[in-house]
Structure 1
Amino acid sequence: MDGKLAVIGLGSIGSMALWQVSHMTDSVIGFEAQSPAHGRSAVGGDTRLFRMIYLGNPDLYPILERSRDLWAELEAETGQDIFTRCGGLSIGTADGLYIRSLLETTRTNGAAHEILSHEEMAERYPQHNLRPDDCAIYDPNAGVLRTDRAVTAAIAAAQANGATVHTNTPIDSITETDDGVVITSGDTSWTFENVIVSSGGWSRRLMPDYLKAATQTKRVFLTWFVAHDAAQFTPEKFPTFNRMYEDRSMYGAPAVDGVTVKATLDGRGTVTPDPDGFPRELSTAEIAETIETVSEFIPGLIPTIVRSDAFPDLYTRDRSPLLGWFSESSRIYCATGFSGGGFKNATGYGHIAAHEALGKQTLEGLEFVRPERFKTGTSTPL
């Protein structure tokens, strides 16, 4: 054996899994096809939103709680400033499905929140151009995560704990044998007791057919703007936001660099067959819709995109992650398919993957993330 465990892909989740594993054993090797936090990975774009208020399965909430605690642990262990807590807003029509659904999930899981009326929103956060029937839900625990800093810090911490890292080492194949799991890169091979696959948009080629059929790699783009008055868009004055209104949707973050405000259309991922060969530039239609939406929602931003980029991520059919073994008898653990929303929970997902891959107990209530749901046909289609 070359090690107890291999982690293939050291991006959002793989870096955190490696860090967590390194607390339990130094017999772990991480493999990254390029370099940590490279510009073509789903880590790209500087920041991601963290929030405790969300749409969907209440079973996600314990993972969010674990993730929040682990972000603080990563900062304490590495001395890096990774999470800026600035609060977060979910904005929509007061009696619309978006706000009603958010409140239903929030009241079920007990997340701290504050409902802001149209008048309260207008007074506290005048940066947002509200419709007459808009309101918001304020999340005091929300904020901004520094993606590049988080990934590089986690990998450095893992190495300090005894983990080995191979960069610029793409894995060509994974083969299970009676003795363990053999992985190859070019003419070199290694054998491990178990393997975690956490390669994001590049994971499909290493997955069994039933998971290939249930996943797609999609291109997701991000956009940034400059404000007329930068002082109004600092983390102290401008919380993260998610806003939905009929066919318009946008999310964003304050100017953590003091200059550029992230404001990006939500839910615009497009299928790309090749995670290495999709357009990084925005189309004319994407630019037009982005500028039209930001002009309506946040008139304090100059309606010119000053920066944009696009990244690949792996989406599942039901948009819930893949966390678990390829099969009951497999030694290959899947930690991918986070469908454009995984980074806020990267520490929590990494914790689950690390512990389960080493045969240790972790959180309960994880049936909704298990890969075998796609074997049985019980998953909910998009």
Structure 2
Amino acid sequence: MDGKLAVIGLGSIGSMALWQASRISGSVVGFETASPGHGRSAVGGDTRLFRMIFRGDPGLYPIMKRSRALWAELEAETGQDILTRCGGLSIGAADGPYITSVLETTRVTGAEHSVLTRQNMAERYPQHNLHHDDVAIFDPNAGVLRTDRAVTAAVSAAQDNGATVHTNTPIEGIEETPEGVLITSAGRSWTFENVIITSGGWSRHFMPDYLKAQTQTKRLILTWFVAKDSARFSPARFPVFSRVHQDRAMYGAPAVDGVTVKATLDGGGRPTPDPDAVPRDLTAAEIQETTETVTGFLPGLNPSIIRADAFPELFTADGHPLLGPLNEGSRIYIATGFSGGGFKNATGFGHIAAHEALGKQHFSGLDFLRPERFKTT
């Protein structure tokens, strides 16, 4: 036996699962195809939004609260500045489906928030060009996460706790045996008591057919713009935002580098069967829609894309992650399929995965995330 637990893929979720596992076990090993935080995975793109206000299943809220606390713990443990707390805005028509849905979820969760009228927004956040019926929901606990810094900090913390990390080691096979879980790479093999698969778009290689049928790798784009007045788009003056108007949706983050503002279409991406062959360049249609949306939403940005990239992400049929054993009693645990919304809760999901895979704690109320939910469809 080569260890109690192996974590396959040290990206957004895997890095956090490794860090959490290293806190409770001295026999943890991480495997990464390239290097932790490499720019071709879903970690790429420098930043992600952290929010406590959202639309969706209220069952995610306890994970969000745990994630917020764990981001602070990671910062304290590593000395890294990872989460910039700048607040967040959800913007849309007052009676539209987006704002209505966000408020419905927020009433159930009890998350701290305030509703800003169009006039309030004009006074506090004039960077946004609003329509006559637009309002915003302000989330005082929101902010922007530094993705590459977070992942590398978590892996380093895990190593400081005694975890072993194998980089440039693509895993080719994962098989349960009577002895444990056998994993192989380039003629080498290891056996562990348990394995967590956190390989994002590459996870489908190791899934049973019932999960392959319910998942799809998609290509997500990210775009950045230069502000005409960068001071107006600093974290102190420009919260993270998510905005929906009719058929246009966009989210973004302030200029954490003092220069570029992230403003990106939020449309769920397009199917890309091979995560190793994601088209990185934007199409003419993507460029046009992005620049048109930025021109209408944020006139303080120069409407020319200064930087763009694309990344693979694994989506599930219902939009909820896959978090749990592949089957009842299985030693293979899967934490993937976050459908474009996993990074903000990466610490919380990593905490759950590590504790459950090591048999330290079982978390209730997560049936809507368990892989076996798809066995009945």
Structure-2-length-normalised TM-score: 0.99
Give the Cα separation in 2 of the matches to 1:138 and 1:278. 35
CA RMSD in angstroms comes to 0.6
Q: How does 1:10-159 map to 2 (within 5 A)?
A: 10-159=10-159
Q: 1:97: Cα distance to partner?
A: 1.1
For structure 1, the 5+ residue unaligned runs are 378-382
- The aligned counterpart of 1:332 is 332
- The aligned counterpart of 1:242 is 242
Q: 1:4: Cα distance to partner?
A: 0.4
Give the Cα separation in 2 of the matches to 1:245 and 1:120. 19
- The aligned counterpart of 1:380 is none
SS of 1:98 mapped into structure 2: helix
The reply on whether 1:221 has 2:246 as its aligned counterpart is no
Q: 1:364: Cα distance to partner?
A: 2.4
Q: 1:170: Cα distance to partner?
A: 0.3
Say whether the 8 Å CA contact 2:268–2:340 is kept in structure 1.
Answer: no
Q: Which amino acid aligns with 1:309?
A: D
Deviations 1:170-196 (A, max 9, x none): 000011111101000010000000000
The reply on whether 1:254 has 2:254 as its aligned counterpart is yes
Give the Cα separation in 2 of the matches to 1:328 and 1:120. 52
Q: Which amino acid aligns with 1:14?
A: G
- The aligned counterpart of 1:361 is 361
The reply on whether 1:230 has 2:230 as its aligned counterpart is yes
Give the Cα separation in 2 of the matches to 1:40 and 1:268. 18
Q: 1:361: Cα distance to partner?
A: 1.6
- The aligned counterpart of 1:343 is 343
Q: 1:278: Cα distance to partner?
A: 1.8
SS of 2:371 mapped into structure 1: coil
Q: 1:238: Cα distance to partner?
A: 0.3
The reply on whether 1:185 has 2:151 as its aligned counterpart is no
Deviations 1:205-244 (A, max 9, x none): 0111111111000000000000110010000000000000
Q: 1:329: Cα distance to partner?
A: 2.5
Q: Which amino acid aligns with 1:310?
A: A
SS of 1:276 mapped into structure 2: helix
- The aligned counterpart of 1:293 is 293
Q: 1:363: Cα distance to partner?
A: 3.5
Deviates more, 1:263-272 or 1:362-371: 362-371
Give the Cα separation in 1 of the matches to 2:144 and 2:168. 29
Q: 1:245: Cα distance to partner?
A: 1.0
Q: Which amino acid aligns with 1:225?
A: F
SS of 1:219 mapped into structure 2: strand
Give the Cα separation in 2 of the matches to 1:364 and 1:143. 28
- The aligned counterpart of 2:161 is 161
Q: 1:268: Cα distance to partner?
A: 4.0
Deviations 1:309-363 (A, max 9, x none): 0000100000100000010121100000000110000000000000000112254
Give the Cα separation in 2 of the matches to 1:366 and 1:268. 23
SS of 2:374 mapped into structure 1: helix
For structure 2, the 5+ residue unaligned runs are none
Q: 1:288: Cα distance to partner?
A: 0.2
Give the Cα separation in 2 of the matches to 1:286 and 1:164. 42
Give the Cα separation in 1 of the matches to 2:25 and 2:277. 37
- The aligned counterpart of 2:195 is 195
Give the Cα separation in 2 of the matches to 1:371 and 1:362. 15
Deviations 1:93-121 (A, max 9, x none): 01111111111100110000000001001
Deviations 1:1-56 (A, max 9, x none): 00000000000000000000000111010000001111100000000000000001
Give the Cα separation in 2 of the matches to 1:140 and 1:278. 36
Give the Cα separation in 2 of the matches to 1:26 and 1:154. 16
SS of 1:308 mapped into structure 2: strand
Give the Cα separation in 1 of the matches to 2:331 and 2:269. 32
- The aligned counterpart of 1:204 is 204
Give the Cα separation in 2 of the matches to 1:193 and 1:17. 16
Q: Which amino acid aligns with 1:376?
A: T
Say whether the 8 Å CA contact 2:321–2:335 is kept in structure 1.
Answer: yes
Residues paired across the two proteins, number: 377
SS of 1:107 mapped into structure 2: helix
